[in-house]
Every structure is written in C-alpha cells, then in structure tokens.
Chain A
Amino acid sequence: MTEKKEEIRTGFYICHCGHNIGSVVDCPAVVEYVKGLPGIAVSRDYKYMCSDPGQELIAQDIREQKLNRIVVASCSPLLHEETFRKATSMGGLNPFYFQMVNIREHDSWVHTDKNAATEKAMDMARAAVARVRFHRALEKKKAPIHPDVLIVGAGIAGIHAALTLANAGKKVYLVEREPTIGGHMAMFDKTFPTLDCAACILTPKMSSVKNHPNITMWTYSEVTSVDGYVGNFTIKVRHKPRYIIEDLCVGCMACIDACVFKQKFEDEFNQGLSKRKPVYIPFPQATPQVVVIDPEQCLKLKTGKCKESCAEACDRKAIDFNQKETIEEIKVGTVIISTGFKSFDAKKLPQYGWGIYPNVYTALEIERLVNASGPTGGDVVMRDGKHPKRIGIIHCVGSRDESTNKWCSRVCCMYSLKLAHLLHEHSEAEIYNFYIDMRTPGKSYEEFYDRLLKEGVNFVRGRVAEITDWAMNKDEEDHLVIRVEDTLAGFVRRIPVDMVVLATGLEAREDAQDVRRLFNIGCGGEGFFMERHPKLAPVDTFTEGIFIAGACQGPKDIPDTVAQAGAAAAQCLALIDAGAIELEPNTAFIDEQSCSGCKSCISLCPYTAITFDAVKKKAVINEALCKGCGTCVGACPSSSIIQNLYEDDQIFTEIEEVLAHV
C-alpha cells in the first residue's frame, strides 16, 4: 500500500498518576529521553493525564502543534484507552492515531528498582512511539441493540432486575432452574437488621413478576447455548418437563393429596427437615403456583406402573406424563446473570460434626426451623425431639479459613446475630456465639449487634476447634461440647450445649465454571464471576452486554444484591436506549490482491466470518461477523490478512523497539 508520505508529528505524554507512577518511574527522565526519538514534536509529563486539564493538554497540543500521533504512558489501556482516544479526537485527530503505554499496572506497581522501572518505561514508550507511526485512521462500527433482556436466575437479584427493566417498558425473559422463583431469600425467615419477614417483602415481588406483561417467566428451565454478541444474542433455553401443563394447573394440590406415596422424599426447600411426595409444590407461596413431578421418584414415570390417582384427582387434566423437554430460541440484546451462591458444605469440616451429630445444624436449616411456615411451624425442636436449652452458633464455617475458603462471606456475622435473636425468641435458650471478629459494616448493623449484646447473648472470641460428644465430666454428659480457645480470656474452654448452628459461608455455585464458559465471562480464583473492574465496573463483565448481579459475583447481603441488580438493569437500559453500541474496529480484512485463495484461514474462524468467494477464488471476511481475535491473521501463510490496530508492521515495530535498548 503506497500512501502519501506525511510528516510524523507525535505528542508523548507521561502521567505521574500522583505518586503511583511518579514515585517509581523517573517521569522527567522519560520525557527527556523521548524527546530524542524520531518524529517527536511534543514530550511532556503531567500529574494526572486522565483529568480534564490532562486531556485538554493533548487536544490543545494537537491543534496548536499540528500533532498527528499521540502516545500516553499511564495506566492500563483497559482502564483509560477510551479516555485518551476521546481526548485525541477532541483535538480533531482520528482517535486511532493513539497508542497507550501501561507503566502503572505493568511497571511502577510491580517493580521496586527505580532504575529498572524507568528503563522499562523508556523501552515501552519507544516502542509505542515507533508503533503509532503505522497507525491508521479507523471508524468504529455500530451494532444495534436488541431491546429484549435475558435474566438468568430468579432470586432476589434476578427478580429485582426483571421488575426494574419491565417497569421501564422492556421485555424480559427471566429463566430459573428451580420449579419456583425466589431463590435463597424465599427460604429465609426474617432479614437483618430490621427483622422484617423475608416472605412478606419478597412474595409480592414474586407475584409482580408472574403477572407483569413484560416479563416472560420460565421456571424449571436452563440456558443451554449462547451465540452472538452484544446487542444481538441468540439464546437457547431448555424447558425441563414438569409433567404438568403449566397453563392448566391452578395449584389446588389435589394431585398431591391423591398421590399414592407417603411423604417420604427429602424436601429440598426445607433443607431435608421435612418430607414430601414425588408430586409437590416447593413451598406455599411458590411462583408459579404449579406443582412439579420428580421423575426419579414418581412411580408412573419410573416404572410406568401406577394407578395414576393424581391424574384422576386433577379436574383440569393438567397432568401429562408424556411431557418432553423442549428447547426454545430467543433473541436478546443484553443479559444479566444472577445465579446466586451455594452454601458451604459443612461435611467438609467433619470436626464440627454436621451429619455426625443430629443436633448440629447449618444456618439455612435453622432459617427453615424458626420459620412459621417451616417444617415445625417455627417450633425449635431438634432432630432428637428435644428442645434446646443452650445453643452454640459457630461463625466462619467455611470462611476465613486456609483449609476451606479464604474469604469472608460478609453475611454470616449478621445472620448469626439474627438467628441468635430468633432462636432465643423461639426457644428461650441460652445462646453462645463463637466468632473470630465481628463484622457488622452496614447501615444499622452495628446497632443490631449492640442490641444482641444487651439481649444477653454470649459472645466468645475464638475459632472453634471441634464439636464432640465425648464428655470430660458429668456436666458434659449427653451434651455436645464445643471446644474453643477463648482468645479474650486466654484459655481453652469446653462449653456444653444442646444444639449447634454452623454459620456456613457463601461459595460460588458448583456449575459456575460451566455458566462462565456458556456466557464467555470470567471467574475469579475463588470461583465467583469476575466483574470488569472491582470499583468502576462492578456489574460489567469482560464480555460486552453481559452483566452480573448479586451473590454470583461475590458474597453479599440483600441490600447490596438489590443495589447491584438495579445497577445491572440500568446498564442494560443504557445500552437499549442508546439503540446501538460502538465496537472496537479491530476487525480483520483480506488484502484481495495478495490473497492466493489457499483457504487456510476459513475454518479457523469460530464465527464463520470468513468465506470463500467462488468467483474471485479468494477468501472474504464479513466485517459484521468478525470479532477481531486475529487468529486468521496469525495463520495466513502469505500475510494477506490485516487486523486493524494489530497489523503485522505495528507489532513487528513494537517487538523491535522494545528490544532496541538505550
């Protein structure tokens, strides 16, 4: 390609980022060094390049010094590339005549040797200054945004986001894996610190979801495939058979009464504290009010032989044993993932005796036990039929622990306080809380802790060593003994109790990795979905148009979950109302003259963006389908494919120049 030779006039700017860069990299020295590089017209340092005056500096220099290339050495391009591209275009230059050098995340923050860090900054600056010469003017392409939204997971986060979007007039598909929406919150009794009833605040929202004309609610359904890109996703949803025609069932439960089975299967909603039949409704306020048949348990579905008294009992003929799973395809523009969390499996800490001693409970079991609509109607009666006189609540089970999960689950201190209050209220038992540190940061949270202290709950500071039924003396006999080092008193204590509650922590769901792959988003090391930026983009992911909300992103309580759900909904709205999104122009194109039509590239494209033109006998890239990975470019045996922003010459220059040492 022969273009008119222009005189290169490059502006170089290095940012001190306060002390973040300036305290390690000798910015003035870099400025002086860059002044000696070819094509440099301006070389400056500035305290904060990303500030308005910093950006204006670039724009002004472009206008006054007739700059035609811009290089900024500051933080990661993932953070501020857009900012400086805008500054470049503010000056009247095409924003792609810009290159960024990451001397903060990749230099000043990770190195301590100032000379080495400064030398590295010079190398990278030199490479960028050389690379930017090869830049070309590019235009961003626009992708229209389909106005419909998919929300995956209908706990409080999904429900809140769905209602927010639906109220704004957007069509929402809310997909839930379980037979009912509501998630974990539906299992809770009261919520901290206000002690208002979880069901009272949640169930109205659940019925709003059900009745909202803009919400398509699919329970007992899962997303199976995701194709496309921001604004234009094609989603396949699998509807599992409930063996009930959903539109016909009114939730009268006559079929449940009629079922030949006794109540013998573990009730998942009640954490196994009660039993149910193969045909069941998860809980009284389940939404939709539609029963479901478990095919693993139902006699008819398992063996084909049953007198089908349930079907007989159903006036509306809603039972359909021949139901098959169906797959539905939808188009949406944006997605919110709100798949929630998994409670830590207490079996992993056998020294705490869950599953060994019947009177050891998890917190979620207690939520059901103290619930008025729970398995005992709110009576705190233990598995052995007795009422506890003393209860120990153990904090940080599966949290802040090197051998299980390192993180703080954020909600356990508060819910342990809540359960202490509720258990005491329901049983008048004496309550002991065993904690490492009390963590109550939240509006009115510390006050709630204070209230519990005044209510006479005992607090022992120490990580519990074990729960045992071995009695050292008479007092301990027929009790569970909590052995703990009381770090305030400074000795080991053995505290006999009747009931133990394990404040299990929050983990990522077991299939988080599968969901992550499905939606092409990231997971952090601990397994929760990763946000694009921990502070500035907490509900964005690395995939445009896909947002996360609630505990799937990390442990959080209901207020934070709802806030995130609202934020995710707002992000979707912002995209939908903009109507289109600008995409990076880093797509690849084929130099038709040089392409030999060898077809090596065609099958390499995962998006089938490359086709073979049978007339010209050359490969052709459909720009709309190209996502800009550059795999075909790397593979083209005659270098006839060019990727915008990552052209061969640009990268070769970068390689040569980072190595062209002073």
Chain B
Amino acid sequence: MSEQFEPRIVAFFCTWCTYTAADLAGVSRLKYAPNIRVIRVMCSGRIDPQFILEAFAHGADGVLIGGCHPGDCHYIEGNYKCLRRAHLLKRVVQDMGIEKERFRLEWISAAEGDRVKTVVNDMVAQIKAIGPLRLPSRFKQWDAEMRELEATVNHTEEMTHASQA
C-alpha cells in the first residue's frame, strides 16, 4: 500500500456524558487522532443497532458508542438498554466476520475528556493494526461476479463460459 491506511470511525455519543467529554477534550486542547466522526444522540439508549450496521455497511472501519457510566444515565437507565443490545450485537457482528476491535462500547463521563482521547487513539491504533473493513468495496467485489454474465449472455443462447483450466 502506498498510502497509509487511515481508519474511518463513526462514533455515537450521548449528549450528556460522552459528547460533553469530547467537548471538554477540545476545551482542554487534548490532541487525538482525526479519524473519528461523532454523531450526537440524546442518550446511548437511542442508538439503534441498525445505526452500527449501517455505519459498517457504508464504509466505517470501526464504530464507537460512548455513553454515561452505569448508574449515571441522564435518563436513568438508557445506557443499560444500550449495554444489553451491545452484548448481543457484538456477537452478531463477530458472527458476520467483523473483528471485535471494530465495535466498542465505552462509558465516558462528562468529566473524562482525557478518556475520549485515550479511547479514540487506542481504537485507531487497534484498527490500523487489523486493516481496513470498507464494506462498500467488498460489496462491489462480490457483485463483480454478476458481470461475467453480462459479457456473454447477449451473444449466445447457451452458457458458454470459457473454461480456464
């Protein structure tokens, strides 16, 4: 590879804890890897498992969820719902061949600006080590097999795929 692989990480942060922590990291001028794109939600309970899969399907190399620590949810227990879903979703994602490092749930309170930095840097390093996921290009690669037919079907009646053996 000529160019260094830069992971794309989509992060879903709850507004009260982790989004605020990321703001704090900014106010404190902490420096971390620029590979993360944050999407704000009110509560980690809002994070639909579809969002995580959607992010992967559209080219995310990693997905990070950030919520309030257990017991600290601004909405009392939204983060527990998030935790329960994450447990099973992690299994689904891994069963579907996605490395476990690519999907991460972290509790980061509004005071833990430094933790945003550590977690992001850590995740970027881990994903750099395992390489790109980039599902859209894999989808394209899979679907390339359908072009074989386009090349032949209009010319002859019969299947005449040339044997390469």
**At the interface, yes or no: B130 with Cβ under 8 Å from chain A?**
no
Binds B, one of A84-92, A195-203, A329-337, A521-529: A521-529
Bound CA–CA A629/B82 (angstroms): 12
Binds A, one of B68-76, B96-104, B152-160: B68-76
Q: Known contacts being A78-B15, A116-B34, is A630 close to B74, with CB within 8 Å?
A: no
**At the interface, yes or no: B20 with Cβ under 8 Å from chain A?**
yes
**At the interface, yes or no: A661 with Cβ under 8 Å from chain B?**
yes
Q: Which of A76, A110, A517, A643 contacts B31 (CB 8 A)?
A: A110
Q: Known contacts being A105-B23, A629-B46, is A655 close to B34, with CB within 8 Å?
A: no
A630–B43 touching, CB < 8 Å: yes
Q: Known contacts being A517-B72, A634-B45, is A655 close to B54, with CB within 8 Å?
A: yes
Q: Known contacts being A651-B41, A659-B55, A659-B58, is A104 close to B78, with CB within 8 Å?
A: no
Residue interface bits B75-90, CB-to-A below 8 A is 1, else 0: 1111001100100000
Binds B, one of A119-127, A207-215, A253-261, A486-494: A119-127
B23–A651 touching, CB < 8 Å: no
Name the CB-closest residue of B to A636. B48
Interface residues of A in 612-662 (CB under 8 A from B): 627-631, 633-635, 643, 646, 648, 651-652, 654-656, 658-661
Name the CB-closest residue of A to B38. A106
- A422 contacts across to B, CB distance below 8 A: none
Most buried by A among B8, B17, B26, B45: B26
Most buried by A among B22, B37, B54: B37
**At the interface, yes or no: A111 with Cβ under 8 Å from chain B?**
yes
B20–A542 touching, CB < 8 Å: yes
A524–B71 touching, CB < 8 Å: no
The interface size bin for chain A is: 35 or more
Q: Which of B37, B39, B47, B77 contacts A120 (CB 8 A)?
A: B37
Name the CB-closest residue of A to B84. A635
Q: Known contacts being A523-B111, A630-B42, is A659 close to B75, with CB within 8 Å?
A: no
Interface residues of A in 190-248 (CB under 8 A from B): none
Bound CA–CA A222/B77 (angstroms): 24
Bound CA–CA A226/B82 (angstroms): 24
Residue interface bits A73-114, CB-to-B below 8 A is 1, else 0: 000111000000000000000000000001011110111110
A110–B30 touching, CB < 8 Å: yes
**At the interface, yes or no: A151 with Cβ under 8 Å from chain B?**
no
**At the interface, yes or no: B64 with Cβ under 8 Å from chain A?**
no
- B78 contacts across to A, CB distance below 8 A: 606, 629-631
B34–A113 touching, CB < 8 Å: yes
- B85 contacts across to A, CB distance below 8 A: 634
Bound CA–CA A530/B111 (angstroms): 8
**At the interface, yes or no: B107 with Cβ under 8 Å from chain A?**
no
A646–B74 touching, CB < 8 Å: no
Bound CA–CA A111/B6 (angstroms): 14
Bound CA–CA A57/B58 (angstroms): 35
Bound CA–CA A652/B158 (angstroms): 44
Bound CA–CA A659/B76 (angstroms): 32
Residue interface bits B1-38, CB-to-A below 8 A is 1, else 0: 00000101010000111011011011101111010011
Q: Known contacts being A520-B74, A661-B8, is A117 close to B34, with CB within 8 Å?
A: yes
- A648 contacts across to B, CB distance below 8 A: 48, 50
- B123 contacts across to A, CB distance below 8 A: none
A542–B25 touching, CB < 8 Å: no
Bound CA–CA A446/B41 (angstroms): 48
**At the interface, yes or no: B128 with Cβ under 8 Å from chain A?**
no
- B42 contacts across to A, CB distance below 8 A: 586, 628-630, 643, 646
The size of the chain B interface, using a CB distance under 8 A, is 52
- B50 contacts across to A, CB distance below 8 A: 648, 652
- B106 contacts across to A, CB distance below 8 A: none
**At the interface, yes or no: A604 with Cβ under 8 Å from chain B?**
yes
B39–A654 touching, CB < 8 Å: yes
Q: Which of A76, A109, A520, A604 contacts B81 (CB 8 A)?
A: A604
Bound CA–CA A661/B37 (angstroms): 12
Q: Which of A516, A627, A629, A656 contacts B58 (CB 8 A)?
A: A656
Residue interface bits B47-71, CB-to-A below 8 A is 1, else 0: 1111100110011100000000001
Q: Which of B8, B23, B43 contacts A629 (CB 8 A)?
A: B43
**At the interface, yes or no: A309 with Cβ under 8 Å from chain B?**
no
A522–B23 touching, CB < 8 Å: no
B26–A106 touching, CB < 8 Å: yes
Bound CA–CA A655/B57 (angstroms): 10
Bound CA–CA A535/B43 (angstroms): 25
Q: Which of A107, A524, A655 contacts B55 (CB 8 A)?
A: A655
**At the interface, yes or no: A51 with Cβ under 8 Å from chain B?**
no
A655–B43 touching, CB < 8 Å: no
**At the interface, yes or no: B127 with Cβ under 8 Å from chain A?**
no
A661–B59 touching, CB < 8 Å: yes
Bound CA–CA A628/B14 (angstroms): 12
B58–A660 touching, CB < 8 Å: yes
**At the interface, yes or no: A543 with Cβ under 8 Å from chain B?**
yes
A517–B26 touching, CB < 8 Å: no
Q: Known contacts being A116-B34, A525-B112, A646-B42, is A656 close to B54, with CB within 8 Å?
A: yes
Bound CA–CA A651/B11 (angstroms): 12
Bound CA–CA A110/B45 (angstroms): 27
Q: Known contacts being A517-B71, A606-B76, A648-B48, is A109 close to B41, with CB within 8 Å?
A: no
Residue interface bits A584-612, CB-to-B below 8 A is 1, else 0: 00100000000000000000101000000
- A117 contacts across to B, CB distance below 8 A: 34
Name the CB-closest residue of A to B20. A78
Q: Which of A123, A606, A659 contacts B77 (CB 8 A)?
A: A606
B37–A634 touching, CB < 8 Å: no
A105–B22 touching, CB < 8 Å: yes
Bound CA–CA A391/B162 (angstroms): 101
Q: Known contacts being A77-B40, A105-B22, A629-B78, is A634 close to B48, with CB within 8 Å?
A: yes
27 A/B residue pairs, CB under 8 Å, sorted by A: A76-B26, A78-B23, A102-B23, A104-B26, A110-B29, A116-B6, A120-B37, A123-B37, A127-B37, A517-B71, A522-B109, A522-B110, A525-B112, A530-B110, A542-B20, A542-B74, A543-B74, A627-B75, A629-B42, A629-B45, A630-B78, A631-B45, A634-B82, A643-B46, A651-B51, A655-B55, A660-B59
- Nearest first, the 7 A-B pairs at minimum CB distance are A105-B26, A630-B46, A631-B45, A629-B75, A629-B43, A116-B34, A606-B76
Name A residues whose Cβ lies closer than 8 Å to a Cβ of B.
Answer: 76-78, 102, 104-107, 109-113, 116-117, 119-120, 123-124, 127, 516-517, 520, 522-525, 530, 534, 542-543, 586, 604, 606, 627-631, 633-635, 643, 646, 648, 651-652, 654-656, 658-661
